[in-house]
Amino acid sequence: MDALKTVLIQPDTRWADRGANREHLSSLMDRADSADLFILPETCTTGFLGDLSPDAEREQGAADVDWVIAESKRRGSAVVAGIAVVEGGQRFNRLVFATPDGRTTHYDKRHLFGYGGEGDRYSAGDRRVRVGWRGWRFDLQICYDLRFPVWCRNDDAFDVQLFPANWPSPRVEAWRTLLKARAIENQAVVIGVNRCGTDGKGVEYPGSSRAFDALGAPLLELGDAEEVSGFVLDPASVRTVRERFPFLADRDGFRVE
């Protein structure tokens, strides 16, 4: 595994304005001198449930994916971004992982936030998704998935777990605690990237993006305002821990349905 300069983009997302968000997110990425990996939040071009009807959003979602690919190529970096897309007449909350060679891998959110009405508008994903890049194995998750440890469980197939999110302020302590718990139990680096500000429905978001190493020690902790910050994803942060404490060998065997 290569050491990767990883940059977290914590924006105050513009409500239901894809063009403005693409422009703003590009400007935020420009603040980083360089990076190997940029990570942006869930639904970063619309806000959570800030999309329009499926017919109106079909082309816009595709334009967002093209934008992620173009940013990855232009910067020579992998770019990870959460986007609302319409495909086959269904709306998905999708995470796109783009690499500079133009390739993309995507994950559709499995656990839809019924409390907020997400399940009424979106279709759930049906598969776990891992992507390999520069020697690292990434597990792709989105926001509410964080609450479901069985779905998140490491079957020794990933080194880093990503949680782009729109996680509201009233439950910020759960956000911080669960990210740390997933890192400890999975012996993996866990990165949660959240938004800040207030959305078009009056929901407040705390920022508080975080990264933890495989022992649960903090690698990066962001505040409650718009911020761009990074850290080096070091292979030793996973390899050394697993060699010294081979706890994954004792994990329970089960199959996720």
Exposed/middle/buried for residue 224 (C-beta within 10 Å: 0-12, 13-18, 19+): middle
Does the annotation count 152 as an active-site position?
no
Strands 129-133 and 78-87: unpaired
If you search the block for the tokens 């792709």, which residue do you land on? 140
What is the DSSP annotation of 187-224?
TSEEEEE--EEE-TTS-EEE---EEE-TTS-EEEE--S
pLDDT computed for residue 52 by the predictor: 80
**Which of 44, 71, 109, 180 is the catalytic position?**
109
The span from the CA of 213 to the CA of 202, in Å, is: 34
pLDDT at 57 over 90: no
Question: Is the pTM higher than 0.85?
Answer: yes
Does the annotation count 201 as an active-site position?
no
The alpha carbons of the chain give a radius of gyration, in whole angstroms, of 17
Instruction: Compute how many other C-beta atoms are within 10 angstroms of the C-beta atom of residue 72.
Output: 25
Q: How does the average pLDDT of the chain come out, rounded?
A: 96
What average pLDDT does this structure show over 35-48? Answer: 98
Is residue 122 within 8 Å of 112, Cβ to Cβ? yes
What average pLDDT does this structure show over 83-91? Answer: 94
Q: pLDDT tens digit string along 24-34?
A: 999 999 999 88
**Which of 42, 57, 71, 118 is the catalytic position?**
42
Does the annotation count 143 as an active-site position?
yes
Instruction: Compute how many other C-beta atoms are within 10 angstroms of the C-beta atom of residue 184.
Output: 16
pLDDT bracket for residue 59 (50, 70, 90)? confident
For the chain, domains (ranges, CATH) are: 4-250 (3.60.110.10)
What average pLDDT does this structure show over 156-160? Answer: 93
Look up residue 12 and give its DSSP letter: B
What average pLDDT does this structure show over 121-136? Answer: 96
**Which of 44, 71, 118, 143 is the catalytic position?**
143
Q: pLDDT tens digit string along 174-197?
A: 999 999 999 999 999 999 999 999
pLDDT computed for residue 187 by the predictor: 97
What average pLDDT does this structure show over 123-136? Answer: 97
